[in-house]
Structure formats: C-alpha cells, structure tokens
C-alpha cells in the first residue's frame, strides 16, 4: 500500500516508516504537522494515512482537523488516527460523514504489530476500526434510556465488534455462533436503530456512529 504518515514525534514517525517499509509498503510521505498532512494527502492520494490526533502548534486536535479536511477534499480517503488518550468524541467526528474507511487506535496498539497492521489494512479497504478501549469506555458510559437500550446483550456485543471493524465472518469466530445468527442479529440492530435497507457497509458505519453518539 502507499501510505502517508503524520506525527510530530520524530521517533514515532520514523519508527512507523521503518515498520511499514519492512512490511512491504511504500511510505510516500512522512510529515509532522496538520497543513503538511493535508498537502501530502492531496498530492499523493495514498491508500491510507496514519495520523496523530495531536500535532503542532497547539497539540490539541490539529491532526484530526487536517484529516477531516483531507476527507472533505477527497471523500472517503482512508485515515487511521492514533491517539495517546481515549477521546470517543474524536472518533465520532471522524465518522460523521458516514463514508467509513476510518480508524481510531491508541498509540499503545502500534506495539502490537500484527493487530496494528491488520487494522491498517482494514481501514485502507473501507472498514471502520475503533480501539477496544474506546469501545469499553463507551459501554461503561452509556445510558440505558437511549435507542441503544433497546438492543439485547448479544446485539450490543455484536455492535461493539462491528465498531472494532470486524467482518461478519470474524464476528462468527469471536463469539462462536452461526453465520446466519450473526446476520440475523445485525439485521435486528439495523432495524432497532432505524437504519433502512442501504449499502451494507454504509449501514455498518451509521450503526457505529449511532453507537458512539449513544
């Protein structure tokens, strides 16, 4: 894959570049701030960009803003955000356009190389991937009187796995039920969340967005 890396930490940026090259990918640019990220994405149109949420000058959400700006110019441009802390609202903002091909991982996840590369591949191919710790925080903070409260325990479990970017087949392997059962549960989730028949990937993104807003 052709990849842009954006992180103001030279150590992490160069570490990511080396990891990606060793895995057979081409790093077309490596930058350290938001404006440079936007320029790199528009110039190279990479298969996926890896972006630190917090970059200069304020170290708040410049990376996120630049990624959203890039996707507004190139709709659906795949972006995997990295963050030191769990900020569920950032994931929600990134998902807000409903087009998928986005990920939000904690930087600690990079050390788990196989998981990180798998998440990167899935985002590049259109999936939505959220860090399990983000999911855990959402589950802990949800109120039961919203629309998510209508979901069964199993449906909430499957929606959480969808939010982590797992396909139906991967969910089957995770919870050891039949493929048809997973499809039925997902159909129930879509119905309870009021998502009409549409492109399956688009509905998955909308379901995850509803989950985040819950």
- Claim to verify: residue 60 and residue 148 sit in the same structural domain: no
Q: Which residue segment(s) compose the domain that 23 sits in?
A: 2-132
- pLDDT confidence band for 26 (50 / 70 / 90): very high
DSSP symbols for 71-133: HHHSTT--EEEEESS--HHHHHHHHTTS---EEEEEGGGGGSHHHHHHHHHHHHTT-EEE-HH
- Claim to verify: residue 96 and residue 149 sit in the same structural domain: no
Q: Which of 132, 165, 193 is the last residue of a domain?
A: 132
Radius of gyration from C-alpha coordinates of the chain: 17
pLDDT in tens, 92-115: 777 777 677 888 888 888 888 998
Q: Indicate the SS3 state at residue 178.
A: coil
Q: Do the Cβ atoms of 33 and 62 come closer than 8 Å?
A: yes
Say if pTM beats, i.e. exceeds, 0.75: no
Q: How many domains does the chain have?
A: 2
Q: Which of 101, 132, 163 is the last residue of a domain?
A: 132
Most confident of 20-24, 99-103, 131-135, 185-189: 20-24
Q: Give Cα separations from 128 to 15, 55, 59, 121, 131 (angstroms).
A: 24, 23, 25, 11, 10
- Claim to verify: residue 18 and residue 122 sit in the same structural domain: yes
Q: Does residue 31 sit within a domain?
A: yes
- Claim to verify: residue 116 and residue 186 sit in the same structural domain: no
In 10 A of CB 12, how many CB atoms? 15
- Claim to verify: residue 119 and residue 14 sit in the same structural domain: yes
Q: Do the Cβ atoms of 171 and 182 come closer than 8 Å?
A: yes
- pLDDT confidence band for 13 (50 / 70 / 90): very high
Asked if pLDDT for residue 151 goes beyond 90, the answer is: no
* Predicted local distance difference test score (pLDDT) of residue 133: 78
- Residue 26: give its domain's CATH number: 3.40.50.2300
- Residue 153: give its domain's CATH number: 1.10.10.10
* Predicted local distance difference test score (pLDDT) of residue 200: 57
């Amino acid at each position: 894959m052709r990849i842009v890396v954006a992180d103001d930490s030279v150590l992490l940026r160069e570490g990511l570049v080396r990891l990606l090259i060793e895995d057979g990918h081409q790093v077309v640019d490596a930058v350290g701030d938001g404006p440079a990220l936007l320029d790199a994405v528009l110039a190279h149109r990479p298969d996926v960009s890896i972006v630190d949420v917090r970059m200069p000058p304020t170290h708040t959400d410049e990376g996120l803003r630049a990624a959203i700006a890039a996707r507004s110019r190139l709709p659906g441009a795949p972006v995997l955000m990295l963050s030191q802390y769990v900020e569920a609202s950032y994931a929600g903002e990134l998902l807000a356009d409903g087009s998928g091909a986005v990920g939000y991982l904690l930087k600690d996840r990079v050390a788990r190389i196989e998981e990180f590369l798998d998440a990167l591949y899935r985002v590049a191919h259109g999936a939505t991937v959220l860090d399990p710790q983000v999911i855990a925080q959402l589950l802990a903070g949800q109120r039961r009187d919203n629309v998510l409260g209508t979901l069964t325990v199993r449906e909430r479990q499957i929606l959480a796995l969808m939010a982590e970017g797992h396909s139906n087949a991967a969910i089957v392997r995770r919870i050891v039920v039949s493929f048809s059962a997973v499809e039925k549960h997902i159909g129930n989730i879509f119905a309870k969340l009021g998502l009409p028949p549409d492109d399956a990937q688009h509905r998955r993104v909308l379901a995850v967005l509803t989950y985040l807003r819950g």
